[in-house]
């Protein structure tokens, strides 16, 4: 038995400054995908292992991954779509296909790009070959996606730590279809609501409660319940919270459970709030008052993991004059990196830091310091999310003043992961205050942070203040942007599935 494995992933933030071109994707084809994902916490690594564990043949086809950003350039998407088509076409006959997508990718003109990828795969493999699709928990699941796939599942965790397990679970479903023991019936129920990314934690809070109920309802007949609270910076039609239930040929139960869980999500929508949202000076005061070290301040509004540029210097301005706390702030700033390289290690530099890529929210901040280190290269993430994945922040420079250390990088850095700081020679656990640009994925990587971390109340394209975003394409009314009475729950979607 031969099962194809492919993955194309990008998360689109419609409000971000940078678009995403082909050069932003790391693309691997064929057997080289094994090296690309080997040892990583990824769907493809889990899928390959699960296929081979039952003695079947995994056929790696394509792995394409880009950091979240603004919309994918349409030509880049078309190229990737053709590549998927060609790789599928040139593979010898496949018995099944496992496709790992993000589920919230859009181009400037295609608002449901992931559905197009599933449809492309369907055209090549035909109606009889089962296609299993895995999605990020932040996916905007649509009718088109569900219609084109046979089985579909998503991460169960936020912060995401179960990518590998998601790939394994999906393969289990596809193998059950091939064995004839699973006749999947999928029901997608959606509710017209978005919630802040900071409020989607699956270990504590409202989504955790729904997830526990979903787990309790899962059994031999109810084979998969995936919750898709959707990342909230995606301005596309059909935007909303999705509940996807898969049963073994039991449409009545699929409908009943999906409707009940979606109704419950709608009823508790006001509970999805951001834990501690503080202005920058108040966040620094909270760090002073706390004994947790490092005290982590999350600038989620400017998180590259949510598509933002990562170049806000707002904390540089505040911490440059801080007399007591040692601190580290990462800023994406290719111009200052270039100047630091030119000055060389040991040189004193005066830099205008930040606000060079996304110029809408802040002004550059003048900073004087000494170039402590410069470097470049690829490294592997070591935290709980995307563990083992090779990434790059381009060239980087570490600039030190008396109490504040800046990590300047050419490209967005994965600052939720301590490996990023360590690669630059900074010990993130040896400072009083650490700024990360992350909504939630830093939490498992900094042991003190779950009880103490604060989120900055600052503007940016990934702001938790969703009412500040100007949606044009999303279906309205949309909670919390528009007023609703509780009859708003009638906007749910009907049964689908092949
Ligand atoms: Zn996600």
Interval 105-114: pLDDT, tens: 999 999 999 9
Q: How far is the CA of 103 from the centre of ligand 1 (A)?
A: 9
Could you tell me which residue, 494 or 283, shows the higher pLDDT?
A: 283
Q: How far is the CA of 136 from the centre of ligand 1 (A)?
A: 5
Give residue 234's pLDDT: 98
Q: How far is the CA of 138 from the centre of ligand 1 (A)?
A: 5
Give residue 150's pLDDT: 97
Q: How far is the CA of 310 from the centre of ligand 1 (A)?
A: 17
Q: How far is the CA of 90 from the centre of ligand 1 (A)?
A: 31
Q: How far apart are CA 341 and CA 395, in angstroms?
A: 9
Give residue 495's pLDDT: 45
Asked if the model's pLDDT at residue 349 lies above 60, the reply is yes
Q: Mean pLDDT throughout 322-350? A: 97
Q: Mean pLDDT throughout 139-168? A: 97
Q: How far is the CA of 155 from the centre of ligand 1 (A)?
A: 8
List 454's β-bridge partners, or say none. 297
User: E-assigned strands of 192-232?
Assistant: 222-228
Give residue 498's pLDDT: 54
Q: How far is CA 388 from CA 101, 108, 164, 308, 372, in A?
A: 19, 32, 12, 23, 27
Q: How far apart are CA 489 and CA 266, in angstroms?
A: 7
Asked if the model's pLDDT at residue 491 lies above 50, the reply is no
Q: How far is the CA of 160 from the centre of ligand 1 (A)?
A: 7
Instruction: For residue 276, name the pLDDT band (cuts at 50, 70, 90).
Output: confident
333 Cβ contact list (under 8 Å, min separation 6):
311, 351, 353, 354, 356, 408, 409
Q: How far is the CA of 100 from the centre of ligand 1 (A)?
A: 13
Question: Widest CA span of the chain, in angstroms?
Answer: 70
Q: How far is the CA of 285 from the centre of ligand 1 (A)?
A: 31
Asked if the model's pLDDT at residue 266 lies above 60, the reply is yes
Q: How far is the CA of 212 from the centre of ligand 1 (A)?
A: 19
Asked if the model's pLDDT at residue 270 lies above 60, the reply is yes
Q: How far is the CA of 346 from the centre of ligand 1 (A)?
A: 40
Q: Mean pLDDT throughout 186-191? A: 96
Give residue 22's pLDDT: 97
SS3 assignment for the chain: CEEEEEEEECCECCCCCCCECHHHCEEEECCHHHHHHCCCCCHHHHHHHHHHHCCCEEEEEEEEECCCECCECHHHHHHHHHHHHHHHHHCCCCCEEEEEECCCCCECCCCCHHHHHHHHHHHHHCCCCCEEEEECCCCCCCHHHHHHCCEEEECCCCCCCCHHHHHHHHHHHHHHHHCCCCCEEEEEEEECECCCHHHCCCCCCHHHHHHHHHHHHCCCCEEEEEEECCCCCCCCCCCCEEEEEEEECCHHHHHHHHHHHHHHHHHCHHHCCCCCEECHHHHHHHHHHCCCCCEEEECHHHCHHHCCCCCCCHHHHHHCCCCCCCEEEEEECHHHHHHHHHHCCCCEEEEEECCCCCCCCCCCEEEEEEEEEEEEEEEECCCCCCCCCEEEEEEEEEEECCCEEEEEECCCCCCCCHHHHHHCCCCCCCCCEEEECCCCCCHHHCCCHHHHCEEECCCCCCCCCHHHCCCCCCCCCCECCCCCCHHHHHHCCCECCC
Q: Mean pLDDT throughout 439-457? A: 86
Of 3-12, 285-294, 442-451, which gets the smallest average pLDDT?
442-451
Give residue 496's pLDDT: 46
Give residue 88's pLDDT: 98
Q: How far is the CA of 200 from the centre of ligand 1 (A)?
A: 10
Give residue 447's pLDDT: 78
Instruction: For residue 69, name the pLDDT band (cuts at 50, 70, 90).
Output: very high
Q: Mean pLDDT throughout 303-309? A: 96
Q: How far is the CA of 125 from the centre of ligand 1 (A)?
A: 28
Give residue 484's pLDDT: 82
Q: How far is the CA of 137 from the centre of ligand 1 (A)?
A: 5
Q: How far apart are CA 332 and CA 397, in angstroms?
A: 10
pTM, entire model? 0.95
Query: What is the CATH topology of the domain spanning 2-271?
Result: Rossmann fold (3.40.50)
Q: Mean pLDDT throughout 473-494? A: 74
Q: Which of 97, 74, 70 is nearest to 5 (CA)?
A: 97
Q: How far is CA 424 from CA 330, 348, 378, in A?
A: 11, 19, 11
Q: How far is the CA of 488 from the centre of ligand 1 (A)?
A: 26
Give residue 490's pLDDT: 45
Q: Mean pLDDT throughout 459-471? A: 96
Q: How far is the CA of 371 from the centre of ligand 1 (A)?
A: 35
Q: Mean pLDDT throughout 35-47? A: 96
Give residue 489's pLDDT: 52
Q: How far is the CA of 208 from the centre of ligand 1 (A)?
A: 15
Task: State the average pLDDT for the chain.
Answer: 95
Q: How far is the CA of 238 from the centre of ligand 1 (A)?
A: 18
Q: Which of 305, 343, 329 is nearest to 462 (CA)?
A: 305
Of 170-174, 375-379, 382-386, 461-465, which gets the smallest average pLDDT?
382-386
Q: Mean pLDDT throughout 117-133? A: 97
Q: How far is the CA of 106 from the centre of ligand 1 (A)?
A: 15
Give start-end residues of each CATH 3.40.50.2300 domain in the chain: 2-271
Q: How far is the CA of 242 from the centre of ligand 1 (A)?
A: 14
Q: How far is the CA of 250 from the centre of ligand 1 (A)?
A: 30
Q: How far is the CA of 179 from the centre of ligand 1 (A)?
A: 31
Q: Mean pLDDT throughout 338-358? A: 98
CA 305 remoteness from chain centre:
6
Q: How far is the CA of 283 from the centre of ligand 1 (A)?
A: 26
């Amino acid at each position: 038995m031969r099962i194809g494995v492919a993955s194309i992933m990008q998360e689109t933030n419609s409000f971000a400054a940078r678009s995403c071109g082909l050069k932003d994707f790391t693309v691997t084809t064929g057997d080289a995908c094994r090296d690309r994902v080997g040892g990583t916490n990824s769907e493809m690594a889990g899928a390959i292992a699960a296929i081979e564990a039952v003695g079947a043949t995994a056929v790696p086809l394509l792995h394409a991954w880009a950091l979240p950003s603004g919309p994918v350039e349409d030509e880049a998407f078309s190229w990737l779509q053709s590549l998927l088509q060609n790789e599928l076409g040139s593979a010898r006959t496949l018995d099944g296909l496992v496709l790992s997508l993000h589920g919230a990718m859009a181009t400037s003109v295609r608002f449901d790009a992931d559905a197009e990828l599933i449809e492309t795969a369907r055209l090549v493999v035909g109606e009889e070959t089962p296609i299993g699709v895995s999605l990020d928990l932040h996916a905007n699941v649509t009718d088109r996606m569900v219609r084109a796939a046979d089985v579909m599942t998503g991460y169960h965790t936020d912060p995401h730590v179960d990518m590998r397990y998601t790939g394994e679970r999906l393969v289990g479903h596809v193998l059950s279809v091939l064995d004839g023991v699973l006749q999947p019936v999928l029901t997608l129920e959606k509710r017209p609501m978005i919630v802040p990314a900071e409020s989607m934690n699956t270990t504590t809070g409202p989504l955790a409660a729904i997830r526990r109920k979903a787990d309790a309802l899962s059994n031999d007949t109810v084979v998969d319940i995936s919750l898709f609270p959707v990342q909230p910076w995606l301005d596309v039609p059909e935007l909303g919270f999705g509940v996807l239930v898969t049963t073994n040929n039991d449409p009545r139960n699929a409908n009943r459970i999906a409707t009940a869980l979606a109704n419950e999500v709608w009823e508790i929508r006001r509970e999805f709030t951001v834990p501690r949202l503080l202005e920058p000076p108040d966040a620094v005061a909270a760090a002073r008052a706390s004994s947790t070290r490092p005290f982590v301040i999350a600038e989620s509004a400017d998180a590259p993991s949510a598509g933002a540029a990562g170049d806000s210097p707002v904390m540089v301005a505040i911490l440059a004059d801080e007399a007591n706390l040692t601190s580290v702030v990462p800023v994406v700033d290719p111009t200052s990196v270039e100047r630091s390289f030119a000055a060389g290690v040991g040189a004193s530099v005066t830099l205008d830091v930040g606000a060079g890529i996304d110029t809408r929210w802040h002004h550059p901040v003048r900073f004087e310091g000494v170039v402590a280190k410069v470097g470049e290269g690829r490294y592997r993430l070591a935290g709980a999310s995307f563990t083992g994945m090779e990434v790059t922040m381009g060239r980087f420079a570490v600039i030190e003043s008396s109490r504040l250390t800046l990590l300047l990088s050419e490209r967005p850095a994965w600052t939720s992961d301590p490996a990023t700081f360590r690669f630059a020679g900074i010990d993130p656990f040896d400072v009083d205050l650490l700024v990360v640009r992350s909504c939630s994925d830093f939490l498992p990587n900094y042991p003190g942070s779950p009880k103490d971390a604060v989120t900055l109340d600052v503007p940016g394209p990934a702001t938790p203040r969703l009412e500040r975003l100007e949606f044009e394409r999303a279906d309205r009314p949309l909670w919390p942007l528009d007023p609703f009475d509780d009859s708003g729950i009638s906007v749910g979607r009907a049964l689908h599935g092949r």
